Amino acid sequence: MATAAPRTRRFPWWMAPVVWPCRLLWWMSTRTERRMGILLTLLIGVAFLLVGLYLTSTIIGAILGLPMAVLGGFLTMRALY
């Protein structure tokens, strides 16, 4: 009988604070893409990306603009791939 191999991590334990937010964003963008469709996800992703980049150019808006640009990038990547 074949036994299942033990589950191994694909990244070192000390990289968890970097990897888990990326996995969470990818999961959220996947759910968005499945519920709304590829074209609408692409349009929303590009809009978030552009607004986020515009807000990042201002000092005050950088607090909101950087996460918005990252979310828009993830949505755009998910819609394209």
> 10-67, pLDDT tens digit by residue?
777 788 888 888 888 888 888 888 898 889 999 999 999 999 999 999 888 888 999 9
pLDDT score, position 1: 56
Task: Say what the alpha-carbon torsion angle 67, 72, 73, 74 is, to the nearest 10 degrees.
Answer: 90
62 in a structural domain: yes
9 in a structural domain: no
Count of structural domains, the chain: 1
48 in a structural domain: yes
State which residues form the domain around 65.
Answer: 38-81
26 in a structural domain: no
33 in a structural domain: no
The model's pTM is 0.72
80 in a structural domain: yes
As a whole number of angstroms, the distance between CA 5 and CA 11 comes to: 17
The pLDDT tens digits for 35-51 are 988 899 999 999 999 99
27 in a structural domain: no
Q: Give the list of residues 6+ apart from residue 70 with CB closer than 8 angstroms, or none.
A: 25, 52
The more confidently predicted of residues 5 and 26 is 26
Number of Cβ within 10 Å of residue 22's Cβ equals: 11
45 in a structural domain: yes
